[in-house]
Amino acid sequence: MKAVAPVNDAPATTAWRPALAEAELWEGDMTPVVVGGTSVLLLNVDGEVRAYLNRCPHQEWALDEGEFEDGTLTCSRHLWEFDARSGGGINPADCALVSYRAKVEGGTIWVAVT
């Protein structure tokens, strides 16, 4: 049996960190940034910002070397495809990108990395 965490356990601390100026990420574009030592891929999906770990879950290849088109992010190494909006796998379906919370405030994109 796994130990059950006490219910009053403090949540993992996530801090909002500035990642990029909002104006630098155009709609339909992606760009790699480093936030708090973590390689993060920022995408502007139809005006909404998404932030993922910039590593393909398959073999940890950098995703910014791939392609972001029509709402689909494709890794250039083995052509794994992901839904840019949800981070969920399209092909193969049973995988997902590691996603971070992202928000736009005061003209800056902020990402919550642990």
Partner 1 sequence: MTMSRCVIVGGGPAAASAAGALRAAGFDGSVTIVSAEDVPPYERPPLSKDFLTGATGAGELQLHPRDWYTDLGVDLRLGTRVAAVDTAAHALVLTGGERIGYDSALIATGGTARRLPGVDHDRVRYLRDLADAGALAKRLATGEPVIVLGGGFIGCEVAASARKLGVDVTMLEMADHPLQRVVGDEVGRIVAGIHRDHGVKLRMGETVQSVHAGDDGVLVTTDRGRLEGATLVVAIGLVPSTGLVARGEVALDDVNGGIVVDGYCRTSAPEVYAAGDVASHEHPRYGRRIRVEHHDNAIRQAAVAARNMLGAQELYEDPHWFWSDQYEHSLQAIGRGDDCDRTVVRGSPADRRFSVFSLSGGRVRGVFALDRGADILAGKRLIRSAALVTPEQLADESVNLKRLAVDRSHR
By CB under 8 A, tell whether 70 contacts partner 1.
Answer: no
**Which region among 24-32, 33-41, 72-80, 82-90 touches partner 1 (by CB under 8 A)?**
72-80
**Which region among 1-9, 25-33, 38-46, 91-99 touches partner 1 (by CB under 8 A)?**
91-99
By CB under 8 A, tell whether 69 contacts partner 1.
Answer: yes
Taking residue 25's Cβ as centre, other Cβ atoms within 10 Å add up to 19
By CB under 8 A, tell whether 77 contacts partner 1.
Answer: yes
By CB under 8 A, tell whether 78 contacts partner 1.
Answer: yes
CA distance 43 to 31: 7
Rg (CA), the chain: 15
In terms of Cβ atoms closer than 10 Å to its own Cβ (0-12, 13-18, 19+), residue 67 is: middle
Query: Which is closer to partner 1, CB of 69 or CB of 105?
Result: 69
For residue 55, the minimal CB distance to partner 1 (Å) is 15
CA distance 102 to 110: 6
One residue of 38, 67, 89, 95 binding partner 1 per CB under 8 A: 67
Q: Is the separation of the CB atoms in 89 and 82 below 8 Å?
A: yes
